[in-house]
Structure 1
Protein backbone atom coordinates (compact mmCIF):
# COMPACT_ATOMS: atom_id res chain seq x y z
CA UNK A 1 0.00 0.00 0.00
CA UNK A 2 1.34 3.49 -0.83
CA UNK A 3 2.30 5.69 2.08
CA UNK A 4 -0.09 8.29 3.47
CA UNK A 5 2.20 11.01 2.14
CA UNK A 6 2.08 9.49 -1.34
CA UNK A 7 -1.71 9.38 -1.33
CA UNK A 8 -1.86 12.96 -0.10
CA UNK A 9 0.55 14.13 -2.80
CA UNK A 10 -1.45 12.43 -5.55
CA UNK A 11 -4.62 14.07 -4.27
CA UNK A 12 -2.87 17.44 -4.21
CA UNK A 13 -1.65 17.00 -7.78
CA UNK A 14 -5.18 16.23 -8.93
CA UNK A 15 -6.60 19.22 -7.04
CA UNK A 16 -3.96 21.49 -8.55
CA UNK A 17 -4.89 20.35 -12.07
CA UNK A 18 -1.37 19.17 -12.84
CA UNK A 19 -2.65 16.86 -15.59
CA UNK A 20 -4.19 19.77 -17.51
CA UNK A 21 -0.75 20.48 -18.98
CA UNK A 22 -1.17 17.30 -21.05
CA UNK A 23 -4.95 17.21 -21.40
CA UNK A 24 -4.98 18.22 -25.06
CA UNK A 25 -2.89 18.93 -28.12
CA UNK A 26 -3.71 22.61 -27.69
CA UNK A 27 -2.42 22.64 -24.11
CA UNK A 28 0.98 21.35 -25.21
CA UNK A 29 1.17 23.70 -28.19
CA UNK A 30 0.38 26.63 -25.91
CA UNK A 31 3.07 25.55 -23.47
CA UNK A 32 5.65 25.21 -26.27
CA UNK A 33 4.73 28.62 -27.68
CA UNK A 34 5.06 30.24 -24.25
CA UNK A 35 8.44 28.59 -23.75
CA UNK A 36 9.62 29.95 -27.09
CA UNK A 37 8.61 33.47 -26.05
CA UNK A 38 9.98 33.19 -22.52
CA UNK A 39 12.45 30.30 -22.16
CA UNK A 40 12.65 28.72 -18.73
CA UNK A 41 15.96 28.71 -16.88
CA UNK A 42 17.98 25.52 -16.65
CA UNK A 43 20.50 27.03 -14.22
CA UNK A 44 21.29 25.03 -11.08
CA UNK A 45 19.95 26.45 -7.81
CA UNK A 46 22.37 28.63 -5.86
CA UNK A 47 22.12 26.31 -2.87
CA UNK A 48 23.76 23.54 -4.89
CA UNK A 49 26.80 25.73 -5.48
CA UNK A 50 27.34 26.00 -1.73
CA UNK A 51 27.98 22.26 -1.33
CA UNK A 52 29.32 21.18 -4.73
CA UNK A 53 31.68 22.36 -7.45
CA UNK A 54 29.75 23.33 -10.59
CA UNK A 55 31.14 24.10 -14.01
CA UNK A 56 29.52 24.59 -17.41
CA UNK A 57 30.80 23.86 -20.89
CA UNK A 58 29.10 23.67 -24.27
CA UNK A 59 28.78 20.67 -26.56
CA UNK A 60 27.62 22.27 -29.75
CA UNK A 61 24.60 24.35 -28.67
CA UNK A 62 24.03 22.30 -25.52
CA UNK A 63 25.00 23.74 -22.15
CA UNK A 64 26.45 20.84 -20.15
CA UNK A 65 26.87 21.14 -16.39
CA UNK A 66 29.33 19.14 -14.33
CA UNK A 67 28.56 18.85 -10.64
CA UNK A 68 31.20 17.29 -8.38
CA UNK A 69 31.61 16.68 -4.64
CA UNK A 70 33.53 19.49 -3.00
CA UNK A 71 36.73 18.60 -1.20
CA UNK A 72 37.12 15.02 -2.39
CA UNK A 73 37.71 12.98 -5.50
CA UNK A 74 34.49 11.65 -7.05
CA UNK A 75 33.99 7.93 -6.72
CA UNK A 76 32.09 7.36 -9.97
CA UNK A 77 30.73 9.16 -13.03
CA UNK A 78 27.06 9.73 -13.82
CA UNK A 79 25.40 11.04 -16.97
CA UNK A 80 21.98 12.30 -15.90
CA UNK A 81 19.37 13.08 -18.58
CA UNK A 82 16.38 15.02 -17.28
CA UNK A 83 12.73 14.55 -18.10
CA UNK A 84 10.10 17.04 -19.15
CA UNK A 85 8.33 15.41 -22.12
CA UNK A 86 11.13 16.73 -24.37
CA UNK A 87 9.56 20.21 -24.06
CA UNK A 88 10.49 21.09 -20.46
CA UNK A 89 13.75 22.28 -18.92
CA UNK A 90 15.58 21.06 -15.85
CA UNK A 91 13.50 21.78 -12.75
CA UNK A 92 14.02 21.77 -9.00
CA UNK A 93 13.24 18.02 -8.49
CA UNK A 94 15.91 17.15 -11.07
CA UNK A 95 18.50 19.28 -9.29
CA UNK A 96 17.46 17.78 -5.95
CA UNK A 97 18.23 14.31 -7.30
CA UNK A 98 21.56 15.53 -8.67
CA UNK A 99 22.38 16.92 -5.23
CA UNK A 100 21.72 13.49 -3.71
CA UNK A 101 23.94 11.76 -6.26
CA UNK A 102 26.80 14.18 -5.55
CA UNK A 103 26.56 14.30 -1.76
CA UNK A 104 25.57 10.71 -0.96
CA UNK A 105 27.09 8.73 -3.84
CA UNK A 106 30.11 11.08 -4.20
CA UNK A 107 29.57 11.04 -7.96
CA UNK A 108 30.69 13.45 -10.67
CA UNK A 109 27.40 14.16 -12.42
CA UNK A 110 27.29 15.42 -15.99
CA UNK A 111 23.98 17.11 -16.81
CA UNK A 112 23.15 18.17 -20.38
CA UNK A 113 20.55 20.91 -20.86
CA UNK A 114 19.69 19.50 -24.28
CA UNK A 115 17.80 21.49 -26.90
CA UNK A 116 14.06 21.02 -26.42
CA UNK A 117 11.49 20.06 -29.04
CA UNK A 118 10.48 21.20 -31.55
CA UNK A 119 13.97 22.65 -32.19
CA UNK A 120 15.61 19.59 -30.70
CA UNK A 121 14.44 16.45 -32.47
CA UNK A 122 15.48 12.85 -31.97
CA UNK A 123 17.63 12.66 -35.10
CA UNK A 124 19.80 15.49 -33.74
CA UNK A 125 19.55 14.84 -30.01
CA UNK A 126 20.30 11.13 -29.71
CA UNK A 127 23.73 11.28 -31.44
CA UNK A 128 24.91 14.12 -29.17
CA UNK A 129 23.75 12.24 -26.06
CA UNK A 130 25.56 9.13 -27.30
CA UNK A 131 28.73 11.18 -27.80
CA UNK A 132 28.48 12.53 -24.24
CA UNK A 133 28.04 9.02 -22.87
CA UNK A 134 30.96 7.72 -24.92
CA UNK A 135 33.24 10.50 -23.69
CA UNK A 136 32.28 9.96 -20.07
CA UNK A 137 32.96 6.22 -20.31
CA UNK A 138 36.29 6.85 -22.03
CA UNK A 139 37.39 9.43 -19.45
CA UNK A 140 38.12 6.61 -16.99
CA UNK A 141 39.93 7.22 -13.77
CA UNK A 142 37.46 7.14 -10.92
CA UNK A 143 35.42 3.98 -11.26
CA UNK A 144 32.52 3.12 -13.48
CA UNK A 145 29.91 5.16 -15.32
CA UNK A 146 26.18 5.07 -14.58
CA UNK A 147 23.62 6.40 -17.06
CA UNK A 148 20.46 7.77 -15.40
CA UNK A 149 17.36 9.28 -16.97
CA UNK A 150 13.85 10.08 -15.86
CA UNK A 151 10.68 10.14 -17.99
CA UNK A 152 11.54 11.52 -21.45
CA UNK A 153 15.15 11.73 -20.31
CA UNK A 154 15.06 7.99 -19.70
CA UNK A 155 13.90 7.48 -23.27
CA UNK A 156 16.75 9.65 -24.56
CA UNK A 157 19.22 7.86 -22.28
CA UNK A 158 18.18 4.42 -23.51
CA UNK A 159 18.25 5.51 -27.16
CA UNK A 160 21.77 6.91 -26.61
CA UNK A 161 22.92 3.63 -25.04
CA UNK A 162 21.49 1.66 -27.96
CA UNK A 163 23.21 3.93 -30.47
CA UNK A 164 26.54 3.69 -28.66
CA UNK A 165 26.27 -0.10 -28.54
CA UNK A 166 25.62 -0.21 -32.29
CA UNK A 167 28.49 2.16 -32.98
CA UNK A 168 31.27 0.79 -30.80
CA UNK A 169 29.90 -1.83 -28.42
CA UNK A 170 30.72 0.39 -25.42
CA UNK A 171 28.31 0.56 -22.49
CA UNK A 172 28.16 2.21 -19.07
CA UNK A 173 28.35 0.08 -15.95
CA UNK A 174 24.59 0.35 -15.47
CA UNK A 175 21.54 2.12 -16.90
CA UNK A 176 18.95 3.45 -14.44
CA UNK A 177 15.56 4.41 -15.90
CA UNK A 178 13.03 6.29 -13.75
CA UNK A 179 9.43 6.13 -15.03
CA UNK A 180 10.75 5.88 -18.59
CA UNK A 181 8.82 7.17 -21.60
CA UNK A 182 9.88 4.74 -24.29
CA UNK A 183 7.08 4.77 -26.90
CA UNK A 184 5.82 8.22 -27.87
CA UNK A 185 2.84 6.79 -29.77
CA UNK A 186 1.01 6.19 -26.47
CA UNK A 187 -0.74 3.28 -28.14
CA UNK A 188 -0.60 0.52 -25.53
CA UNK A 189 -4.14 -0.83 -24.97
CA UNK A 190 -3.80 -0.77 -21.17
CA UNK A 191 -3.06 2.96 -21.04
CA UNK A 192 -6.69 4.08 -21.35
CA UNK A 193 -7.60 2.42 -18.07
CA UNK A 194 -4.49 3.62 -16.24
CA UNK A 195 -4.80 7.21 -17.46
CA UNK A 196 -7.94 7.85 -15.41
CA UNK A 197 -5.97 7.23 -12.19
CA UNK A 198 -2.83 9.17 -13.21
CA UNK A 199 -2.60 12.50 -11.33
CA UNK A 200 0.09 13.97 -13.61
CA UNK A 201 -0.07 12.78 -17.23
CA UNK A 202 -2.60 12.40 -20.04
CA UNK A 203 -2.20 10.79 -23.43
CA UNK A 204 -3.35 13.56 -25.85
CA UNK A 205 -0.67 16.01 -24.78
CA UNK A 206 2.02 13.37 -24.54
CA UNK A 207 1.29 12.25 -28.10
CA UNK A 208 1.72 15.84 -29.29
CA UNK A 209 4.98 16.30 -27.37
CA UNK A 210 6.21 13.03 -28.83
CA UNK A 211 5.25 14.16 -32.33
CA UNK A 212 7.25 17.35 -31.90
CA UNK A 213 10.28 15.39 -30.69
CA UNK A 214 10.00 12.87 -33.54
CA UNK A 215 10.26 15.60 -36.16
CA UNK A 216 10.54 13.87 -39.53
CA UNK A 217 11.07 10.42 -38.00
CA UNK A 218 8.35 7.84 -37.49
CA UNK A 219 7.04 7.38 -33.96
CA UNK A 220 8.35 3.80 -33.92
CA UNK A 221 11.88 4.76 -34.96
CA UNK A 222 14.15 3.52 -32.12
CA UNK A 223 15.74 6.96 -31.88
CA UNK A 224 12.31 8.34 -30.96
CA UNK A 225 10.86 5.32 -29.15
CA UNK A 226 13.70 3.09 -27.93
CA UNK A 227 11.21 0.43 -26.87
CA UNK A 228 11.34 -0.57 -30.55
CA UNK A 229 15.12 -0.89 -30.50
CA UNK A 230 17.23 -3.97 -29.74
CA UNK A 231 18.19 -4.92 -26.19
CA UNK A 232 21.04 -7.33 -26.77
CA UNK A 233 24.39 -6.09 -25.57
CA UNK A 234 23.10 -3.37 -23.26
CA UNK A 235 24.41 -2.69 -19.78
CA UNK A 236 22.40 -4.06 -16.83
CA UNK A 237 19.16 -2.13 -16.42
CA UNK A 238 17.41 -0.89 -13.28
CA UNK A 239 13.86 0.41 -13.79
CA UNK A 240 11.58 2.27 -11.36
CA UNK A 241 7.88 2.85 -12.02
CA UNK A 242 4.55 3.27 -10.23
CA UNK A 243 1.13 1.93 -11.07
CA UNK A 244 -0.54 5.40 -11.06
CA UNK A 245 1.55 6.33 -14.10
CA UNK A 246 0.13 5.96 -17.60
CA UNK A 247 3.70 5.17 -18.72
CA UNK A 248 3.95 2.08 -16.51
CA UNK A 249 3.13 0.05 -19.61
CA UNK A 250 6.40 1.16 -21.20
CA UNK A 251 8.36 -0.13 -18.21
CA UNK A 252 6.55 -3.46 -18.20
CA UNK A 253 7.06 -3.93 -21.92
CA UNK A 254 10.73 -2.94 -21.60
CA UNK A 255 11.28 -5.57 -18.92
CA UNK A 256 9.58 -8.24 -21.01
CA UNK A 257 11.53 -7.47 -24.18
CA UNK A 258 14.88 -6.90 -22.47
CA UNK A 259 14.73 -10.14 -20.49
CA UNK A 260 13.69 -12.03 -23.62
CA UNK A 261 16.83 -10.65 -25.27
CA UNK A 262 18.99 -11.87 -22.39
CA UNK A 263 19.52 -8.49 -20.74
CA UNK A 264 19.91 -8.20 -16.98
CA UNK A 265 16.99 -6.21 -15.51
CA UNK A 266 16.24 -5.12 -11.95
CA UNK A 267 12.61 -3.99 -11.83
CA UNK A 268 10.84 -1.93 -9.15
CA UNK A 269 7.10 -1.41 -9.67
CA UNK A 270 5.40 0.31 -6.72
CA UNK A 271 1.64 0.07 -6.27
CA UNK A 272 -0.25 3.35 -6.11
CA UNK A 273 2.70 5.62 -6.85
CA UNK A 274 2.75 8.38 -9.49
CA UNK A 275 5.08 9.27 -12.33
CA UNK A 276 8.76 9.84 -11.36
CA UNK A 277 8.09 8.99 -7.72
CA UNK A 278 11.86 8.52 -7.00
CA UNK A 279 12.25 12.30 -7.51
CA UNK A 280 9.44 13.19 -5.10
CA UNK A 281 9.59 13.88 -1.32
CA UNK A 282 8.00 10.55 -0.41
CA UNK A 283 9.16 7.62 1.75
CA UNK A 284 9.07 5.42 -1.34
CA UNK A 285 11.03 8.04 -3.26
CA UNK A 286 13.68 8.10 -0.53
CA UNK A 287 14.01 4.31 -0.70
CA UNK A 288 14.41 4.45 -4.48
CA UNK A 289 17.08 7.14 -4.21
CA UNK A 290 18.95 5.05 -1.66
CA UNK A 291 18.94 2.16 -4.11
CA UNK A 292 20.25 4.40 -6.90
CA UNK A 293 23.01 5.68 -4.60
CA UNK A 294 23.92 2.07 -3.81
CA UNK A 295 24.15 1.23 -7.52
CA UNK A 296 26.50 4.16 -8.11
CA UNK A 297 28.66 3.12 -5.16
CA UNK A 298 28.85 -0.37 -6.65
CA UNK A 299 29.94 1.12 -9.96
CA UNK A 300 32.63 3.08 -8.12
CA UNK A 301 34.31 -0.21 -7.25
CA UNK A 302 34.84 -1.00 -10.95
CA UNK A 303 38.44 -0.23 -11.73
Structure 2
Protein backbone atom coordinates (compact mmCIF):
# COMPACT_ATOMS: atom_id res chain seq x y z
CA UNK A 1 0.00 0.00 0.00
CA UNK A 2 1.49 3.37 -0.99
CA UNK A 3 1.89 6.00 1.69
CA UNK A 4 -0.77 8.67 2.19
CA UNK A 5 1.61 11.28 0.81
CA UNK A 6 2.23 9.21 -2.32
CA UNK A 7 -1.48 8.78 -2.92
CA UNK A 8 -2.05 12.50 -2.46
CA UNK A 9 0.75 13.34 -4.87
CA UNK A 10 -0.63 11.00 -7.55
CA UNK A 11 -4.07 12.56 -7.17
CA UNK A 12 -2.56 16.05 -7.50
CA UNK A 13 -0.66 15.08 -10.64
CA UNK A 14 -3.85 13.80 -12.22
CA UNK A 15 -5.74 16.94 -11.18
CA UNK A 16 -3.29 19.30 -12.84
CA UNK A 17 -3.14 17.21 -15.99
CA UNK A 18 0.61 16.55 -16.03
CA UNK A 19 0.17 13.52 -18.28
CA UNK A 20 -1.66 15.49 -20.96
CA UNK A 21 1.23 17.92 -21.42
CA UNK A 22 3.16 15.27 -23.36
CA UNK A 23 0.25 12.95 -23.97
CA UNK A 24 0.34 13.07 -27.76
CA UNK A 25 2.80 13.18 -30.62
CA UNK A 26 1.67 16.74 -31.32
CA UNK A 27 2.39 17.80 -27.75
CA UNK A 28 5.89 16.35 -27.94
CA UNK A 29 6.62 18.11 -31.22
CA UNK A 30 5.34 21.38 -29.75
CA UNK A 31 7.62 20.93 -26.72
CA UNK A 32 10.61 20.27 -28.96
CA UNK A 33 9.82 23.34 -31.09
CA UNK A 34 9.50 25.50 -27.97
CA UNK A 35 12.83 24.20 -26.65
CA UNK A 36 14.48 25.06 -29.96
CA UNK A 37 13.22 28.64 -29.69
CA UNK A 38 13.98 29.01 -25.98
CA UNK A 39 16.28 26.29 -24.61
CA UNK A 40 15.73 25.36 -20.98
CA UNK A 41 18.58 25.82 -18.53
CA UNK A 42 20.52 22.81 -17.28
CA UNK A 43 22.56 24.88 -14.79
CA UNK A 44 22.84 23.55 -11.23
CA UNK A 45 21.01 25.49 -8.51
CA UNK A 46 23.16 28.05 -6.71
CA UNK A 47 22.52 26.32 -3.39
CA UNK A 48 24.50 23.29 -4.58
CA UNK A 49 27.64 25.43 -4.63
CA UNK A 50 27.40 25.84 -0.85
CA UNK A 51 27.96 22.12 -0.25
CA UNK A 52 29.92 20.98 -3.31
CA UNK A 53 32.75 21.88 -5.65
CA UNK A 54 31.30 22.32 -9.14
CA UNK A 55 33.20 22.59 -12.40
CA UNK A 56 32.13 22.32 -16.01
CA UNK A 57 33.97 21.04 -19.05
CA UNK A 58 32.84 20.15 -22.56
CA UNK A 59 32.97 16.77 -24.25
CA UNK A 60 32.26 17.69 -27.83
CA UNK A 61 29.00 19.65 -27.69
CA UNK A 62 28.10 18.29 -24.26
CA UNK A 63 28.49 20.39 -21.12
CA UNK A 64 29.61 17.96 -18.41
CA UNK A 65 29.35 18.98 -14.75
CA UNK A 66 31.75 17.57 -12.16
CA UNK A 67 30.30 17.81 -8.65
CA UNK A 68 32.46 16.77 -5.68
CA UNK A 69 32.30 17.00 -1.87
CA UNK A 70 33.36 20.37 -0.53
CA UNK A 71 36.68 20.22 1.28
CA UNK A 72 37.18 16.45 1.16
CA UNK A 73 38.28 13.75 -1.24
CA UNK A 74 35.46 11.75 -2.85
CA UNK A 75 35.08 8.17 -1.67
CA UNK A 76 33.74 6.89 -5.01
CA UNK A 77 32.46 8.23 -8.31
CA UNK A 78 29.13 8.27 -10.09
CA UNK A 79 28.14 8.87 -13.69
CA UNK A 80 24.56 10.18 -13.48
CA UNK A 81 22.44 10.29 -16.66
CA UNK A 82 19.24 12.31 -16.27
CA UNK A 83 15.78 11.55 -17.60
CA UNK A 84 13.32 13.71 -19.48
CA UNK A 85 12.13 11.61 -22.40
CA UNK A 86 15.31 12.49 -24.33
CA UNK A 87 13.75 15.93 -24.92
CA UNK A 88 14.01 17.45 -21.42
CA UNK A 89 16.95 18.99 -19.58
CA UNK A 90 18.18 18.47 -16.04
CA UNK A 91 15.65 19.77 -13.51
CA UNK A 92 15.63 20.37 -9.75
CA UNK A 93 14.77 16.78 -8.67
CA UNK A 94 17.82 15.56 -10.61
CA UNK A 95 20.06 18.10 -8.92
CA UNK A 96 18.54 17.21 -5.54
CA UNK A 97 19.60 13.59 -6.05
CA UNK A 98 23.07 14.71 -7.12
CA UNK A 99 23.32 16.79 -3.94
CA UNK A 100 22.37 13.73 -1.89
CA UNK A 101 25.00 11.58 -3.59
CA UNK A 102 27.68 14.17 -2.91
CA UNK A 103 26.76 15.04 0.67
CA UNK A 104 25.47 11.70 1.95
CA UNK A 105 27.56 9.22 -0.05
CA UNK A 106 30.68 11.37 -0.36
CA UNK A 107 30.78 10.71 -4.10
CA UNK A 108 32.11 12.65 -7.04
CA UNK A 109 29.20 12.88 -9.49
CA UNK A 110 29.81 13.46 -13.19
CA UNK A 111 26.68 14.80 -14.90
CA UNK A 112 26.46 15.14 -18.69
CA UNK A 113 23.94 17.63 -20.06
CA UNK A 114 23.73 15.57 -23.24
CA UNK A 115 22.36 16.99 -26.50
CA UNK A 116 18.61 16.37 -26.62
CA UNK A 117 16.54 14.84 -29.41
CA UNK A 118 16.03 15.43 -32.23
CA UNK A 119 19.61 16.81 -32.56
CA UNK A 120 20.91 14.26 -30.11
CA UNK A 121 20.08 10.83 -31.50
CA UNK A 122 21.05 7.43 -30.17
CA UNK A 123 23.75 6.80 -32.77
CA UNK A 124 25.55 9.96 -31.58
CA UNK A 125 24.64 9.96 -27.91
CA UNK A 126 25.32 6.40 -26.78
CA UNK A 127 28.98 6.32 -27.94
CA UNK A 128 29.75 9.57 -26.10
CA UNK A 129 28.12 8.28 -22.92
CA UNK A 130 30.11 5.04 -23.24
CA UNK A 131 33.32 7.07 -23.61
CA UNK A 132 32.50 9.07 -20.47
CA UNK A 133 31.85 5.86 -18.54
CA UNK A 134 35.06 4.31 -19.83
CA UNK A 135 37.05 7.37 -18.83
CA UNK A 136 35.72 7.25 -15.27
CA UNK A 137 36.44 3.55 -14.91
CA UNK A 138 39.93 3.80 -16.38
CA UNK A 139 40.72 7.05 -14.57
CA UNK A 140 40.58 5.30 -11.26
CA UNK A 141 40.48 7.54 -8.24
CA UNK A 142 39.05 6.46 -4.94
CA UNK A 143 36.60 3.58 -4.86
CA UNK A 144 34.57 2.18 -7.72
CA UNK A 145 32.31 3.76 -10.32
CA UNK A 146 28.52 3.54 -10.12
CA UNK A 147 26.40 4.25 -13.22
CA UNK A 148 23.00 5.76 -12.35
CA UNK A 149 20.17 6.79 -14.66
CA UNK A 150 16.50 7.64 -14.38
CA UNK A 151 13.77 7.16 -16.99
CA UNK A 152 15.21 7.93 -20.45
CA UNK A 153 18.58 8.50 -18.79
CA UNK A 154 18.41 4.93 -17.52
CA UNK A 155 17.92 3.74 -21.09
CA UNK A 156 20.90 5.75 -22.25
CA UNK A 157 22.96 4.50 -19.29
CA UNK A 158 22.16 0.84 -20.00
CA UNK A 159 22.89 1.24 -23.72
CA UNK A 160 26.24 2.85 -22.85
CA UNK A 161 27.12 -0.02 -20.50
CA UNK A 162 26.21 -2.57 -23.19
CA UNK A 163 28.34 -0.75 -25.77
CA UNK A 164 31.32 -0.52 -23.42
CA UNK A 165 31.01 -4.21 -22.59
CA UNK A 166 31.03 -5.06 -26.30
CA UNK A 167 34.04 -2.79 -26.95
CA UNK A 168 36.36 -3.65 -24.07
CA UNK A 169 34.52 -5.81 -21.55
CA UNK A 170 34.83 -3.06 -18.93
CA UNK A 171 31.95 -2.36 -16.55
CA UNK A 172 31.21 -0.05 -13.63
CA UNK A 173 30.91 -1.45 -10.12
CA UNK A 174 27.12 -1.31 -10.31
CA UNK A 175 24.34 0.02 -12.56
CA UNK A 176 21.33 1.68 -10.87
CA UNK A 177 18.22 2.26 -12.98
CA UNK A 178 15.25 4.26 -11.69
CA UNK A 179 11.95 3.84 -13.56
CA UNK A 180 13.93 2.92 -16.68
CA UNK A 181 12.62 3.52 -20.19
CA UNK A 182 14.33 0.72 -22.09
CA UNK A 183 12.12 0.01 -25.11
CA UNK A 184 10.89 3.07 -27.01
CA UNK A 185 8.61 0.96 -29.25
CA UNK A 186 6.05 0.96 -26.39
CA UNK A 187 4.83 -2.37 -27.74
CA UNK A 188 4.44 -4.49 -24.61
CA UNK A 189 0.87 -5.86 -24.46
CA UNK A 190 0.46 -5.00 -20.77
CA UNK A 191 1.08 -1.28 -21.31
CA UNK A 192 -2.43 -0.53 -22.52
CA UNK A 193 -3.88 -1.57 -19.17
CA UNK A 194 -1.15 0.16 -17.15
CA UNK A 195 -1.57 3.46 -18.97
CA UNK A 196 -5.02 4.07 -17.50
CA UNK A 197 -3.58 4.12 -13.96
CA UNK A 198 -0.42 6.10 -14.80
CA UNK A 199 -0.75 9.73 -13.63
CA UNK A 200 2.27 10.94 -15.62
CA UNK A 201 2.92 9.13 -18.90
CA UNK A 202 1.02 8.33 -22.08
CA UNK A 203 2.10 5.99 -24.84
CA UNK A 204 1.52 8.28 -27.86
CA UNK A 205 3.85 10.96 -26.53
CA UNK A 206 6.48 8.43 -25.51
CA UNK A 207 6.41 6.81 -28.94
CA UNK A 208 7.01 10.18 -30.61
CA UNK A 209 9.84 11.10 -28.25
CA UNK A 210 11.39 7.68 -28.90
CA UNK A 211 11.06 8.15 -32.64
CA UNK A 212 12.87 11.48 -32.45
CA UNK A 213 15.65 9.93 -30.36
CA UNK A 214 16.01 7.00 -32.78
CA UNK A 215 16.76 9.32 -35.69
CA UNK A 216 17.81 7.17 -38.66
CA UNK A 217 17.97 4.00 -36.58
CA UNK A 218 15.06 1.60 -36.16
CA UNK A 219 13.30 2.05 -32.83
CA UNK A 220 14.04 -1.63 -32.19
CA UNK A 221 17.81 -1.09 -32.45
CA UNK A 222 19.50 -1.90 -29.10
CA UNK A 223 21.25 1.48 -29.16
CA UNK A 224 17.78 3.03 -28.98
CA UNK A 225 15.97 0.31 -27.02
CA UNK A 226 18.59 -1.47 -24.88
CA UNK A 227 16.00 -3.92 -23.56
CA UNK A 228 16.46 -5.57 -26.97
CA UNK A 229 20.23 -5.91 -26.42
CA UNK A 230 22.05 -8.67 -24.55
CA UNK A 231 22.55 -8.82 -20.79
CA UNK A 232 25.44 -11.18 -20.22
CA UNK A 233 28.63 -9.63 -18.88
CA UNK A 234 26.97 -6.54 -17.39
CA UNK A 235 27.67 -5.15 -13.94
CA UNK A 236 25.21 -6.01 -11.14
CA UNK A 237 21.95 -4.11 -11.61
CA UNK A 238 19.66 -2.39 -9.14
CA UNK A 239 16.25 -1.46 -10.52
CA UNK A 240 13.46 0.66 -9.01
CA UNK A 241 9.95 0.77 -10.48
CA UNK A 242 6.37 1.44 -9.41
CA UNK A 243 3.19 -0.35 -10.44
CA UNK A 244 1.46 2.89 -11.57
CA UNK A 245 4.08 3.38 -14.29
CA UNK A 246 3.32 2.37 -17.87
CA UNK A 247 7.05 1.68 -18.21
CA UNK A 248 7.11 -0.88 -15.39
CA UNK A 249 6.91 -3.56 -18.09
CA UNK A 250 10.45 -2.59 -19.12
CA UNK A 251 11.73 -3.19 -15.60
CA UNK A 252 10.05 -6.58 -15.33
CA UNK A 253 11.36 -7.67 -18.71
CA UNK A 254 14.83 -6.48 -17.74
CA UNK A 255 14.64 -8.58 -14.56
CA UNK A 256 13.67 -11.68 -16.52
CA UNK A 257 16.21 -11.28 -19.31
CA UNK A 258 19.13 -10.22 -17.15
CA UNK A 259 18.70 -13.06 -14.69
CA UNK A 260 18.35 -15.52 -17.56
CA UNK A 261 21.72 -14.23 -18.83
CA UNK A 262 23.32 -14.75 -15.42
CA UNK A 263 23.48 -11.07 -14.45
CA UNK A 264 22.75 -10.15 -10.84
CA UNK A 265 19.65 -7.98 -10.35
CA UNK A 266 18.41 -6.32 -7.17
CA UNK A 267 14.78 -5.47 -7.91
CA UNK A 268 12.49 -3.03 -6.09
CA UNK A 269 8.86 -2.70 -7.21
CA UNK A 270 6.62 -0.42 -5.14
CA UNK A 271 2.88 -1.00 -5.30
CA UNK A 272 0.89 2.07 -6.32
CA UNK A 273 3.90 4.31 -7.01
CA UNK A 274 4.24 6.35 -10.24
CA UNK A 275 7.06 6.86 -12.70
CA UNK A 276 10.19 8.38 -11.22
CA UNK A 277 9.14 7.82 -7.62
CA UNK A 278 12.76 7.60 -6.30
CA UNK A 279 13.07 11.31 -7.13
CA UNK A 280 9.81 12.33 -5.42
CA UNK A 281 9.42 13.85 -1.92
CA UNK A 282 7.51 10.84 -0.57
CA UNK A 283 8.53 8.18 1.99
CA UNK A 284 9.07 5.54 -0.69
CA UNK A 285 11.25 7.95 -2.65
CA UNK A 286 13.36 8.65 0.42
CA UNK A 287 13.77 4.92 1.03
CA UNK A 288 14.91 4.40 -2.56
CA UNK A 289 17.42 7.24 -2.26
CA UNK A 290 18.72 5.76 1.00
CA UNK A 291 19.35 2.47 -0.77
CA UNK A 292 21.15 4.24 -3.63
CA UNK A 293 23.35 6.06 -1.11
CA UNK A 294 24.19 2.68 0.48
CA UNK A 295 25.15 1.25 -2.91
CA UNK A 296 27.38 4.21 -3.74
CA UNK A 297 29.01 4.03 -0.32
CA UNK A 298 29.64 0.31 -0.88
CA UNK A 299 31.52 1.20 -4.07
CA UNK A 300 34.01 3.14 -1.94
CA UNK A 301 35.36 -0.17 -0.65
CA UNK A 302 36.04 -1.59 -4.12
TM-score range, shorter chain: over 0.9
SS at match of 2:146: strand
What displacement does 1:21 show?
A: 2.0
SS at match of 1:48: helix
SS at match of 1:238: strand
TM normalised by structure 1 equals: 0.99
Q: Is the 8 A contact 1:83 1:149 kept in 2?
A: yes
Structure 2 partner of 1:213 = 213
- Aligned counterparts of 1:282 and 1:137: Cα–Cα separation in 2: 33
Structure 1 partner of 2:287 = 287
SS at match of 2:66: strand
Q: Is the 8 A contact 1:81 1:154 kept in 2?
A: yes
Structure 2 partner of 1:85 = 85
Taking only aligned residues, the RMSD between alpha carbons, in angstroms, comes to 0.4
What displacement does 1:22 show?
A: 2.3
What displacement does 1:134 show?
A: 0.1
- Aligned counterparts of 2:8 and 2:37: Cα–Cα separation in 1: 35
**Where in structure 1 do 4 or more consecutive aligned residues deviate above 2 Å?**
none
What displacement does 1:139 show?
A: 1.0
What displacement does 1:291 show?
A: 0.3
- Aligned counterparts of 1:279 and 1:94: Cα–Cα separation in 2: 7
Structure 2 partner of 1:95 = 95
Q: Is the 8 A contact 1:22 1:203 kept in 2?
A: no
- Aligned counterparts of 1:30 and 1:223: Cα–Cα separation in 2: 25
Q: Residue deviations 1:163-221, cap 9 Å, x none? A: 00000000000000000000000010000000000000000000000000000001110
What displacement does 1:71 show?
A: 1.0
Structure 2 partner of 1:129 = 129
- Aligned counterparts of 1:184 and 1:108: Cα–Cα separation in 2: 31
Could you tell me which runs of 5 or more consecutive residues in structure 2 were left unpaired when the two chains were aligned.
none
Could you tell me which runs of 5 or more consecutive residues in structure 1 were left unpaired when the two chains were aligned.
none
Q: Is the 8 A contact 1:21 1:205 kept in 2?
A: no
Structure 2 partner of 1:2 = 2
- Aligned counterparts of 1:59 and 1:289: Cα–Cα separation in 2: 29
TM normalised by structure 2 equals: 1.00
Structure 2 partner of 1:180 = 180
Structure 2 partner of 1:44 = 44
SS at match of 1:263: coil
Q: Residue deviations 1:54-90, cap 9 Å, x none? A: 0000000000000000011100000000000000000
What displacement does 1:23 show?
A: 1.4
